[in-house]
Amino acid sequence: MGDQLKGRTVFITGSGGVLGSTYVRRMLDQGARVVASDLPGHRAEALQAAHEGNENFRFYELDVGEEAAVEEIFKRIMGDGWEPNVVLNNAAITGEMLMGKGKSFPDFCDTTVEDFEKTLHTNLTGAFMVARQMDRDIVGRYPSTLINVASMYALNGAHHPIYDGMPFKNFSAYGVSKAGIHGLTVWLAGYWAKRNATVNTISPGAVFNGHSEEFQRRVGELIMQGRMAQPDEIADVMLFLASAQAGHMTGQMVNVDGGFSAW
């Protein structure tokens, strides 16, 4: 327990995933009030069960791809008496979510426009809509910060051979959407600078989530530290970006990738 985030009310999209749920737990531990959101389903249920009864935790169902729902979200939260001063664009479609569990992922030449656009719609247009609503409802009313989540594959290409024979693949729309989200960061940084709002990107590296020994070995060879990250190691940096101590940072991409991007 600590007070690094005392006075912060953090709104997080896609909060039920491996990283989102870690941010929620760690932010609550540091004195934040946390407004979590996600699609309905088992992740959302598990997250709510984990924090049931915690007076600093709220949960709202939110599909970031639904424009009307995004347009209402801050009014709903504020109507319930909470004013988010940290917004975290964390929701994203992964390959498995796009194709369905156990279904093989198509090669680039067979990727449909529909799947490409669906990924961009959630990962990029969804982030834009949340940021736009923050602009309408929060920015300029009180100091605030937006954190966009990119990836080690935002500004660096994916290393395709490490996915050979793996049950999951890296797919084109993912990296494209993550490069785009940093574009949103740098665009907004200047646009909001005089209205007391900051915006930064965090780019997590490869995060361990039960991957096989073989995959860990392959990806580990691409990382200076030689290993995948634990979710808490990404959360350590996320806590700083969400804290008042990051007040003079804006328009930056922070890589938390064990040196992957520095080679």
Chain residues binding ligand NAD by CB under 6 A are 13-14, 16-20, 38-39, 43, 62-65, 90-94, 97, 122, 126, 149, 151, 204, 206-207
Specify the residue, 50 or 97, whose C-beta has the smaller distance to ligand NAD: 97
Specify the residue, 38 or 137, whose C-beta has the smaller distance to ligand NAD: 38
Q: How far is the CB of 195 from ligand NAD (least distance, A)?
A: 26
Q: How far is the CB of 248 from ligand NAD (least distance, A)?
A: 25
Specify the residue, 32 or 64, whose C-beta has the smaller distance to ligand NAD: 64
Q: How far is the CB of 64 from ligand NAD (least distance, A)?
A: 4
The closest residue (CB) to ligand NAD is: 17
Q: How far is the CB of 63 from ligand NAD (least distance, A)?
A: 4
Specify the residue, 92 or 173, whose C-beta has the smaller distance to ligand NAD: 92
Q: How far is the CB of 40 from ligand NAD (least distance, A)?
A: 9
Specify the residue, 193 or 236, whose C-beta has the smaller distance to ligand NAD: 236
Specify the residue, 1 or 263, whose C-beta has the smaller distance to ligand NAD: 263
CA distances from 88 to 94, 112, 149 (A): 18, 29, 8
Q: How far is the CB of 93 from ligand NAD (least distance, A)?
A: 5
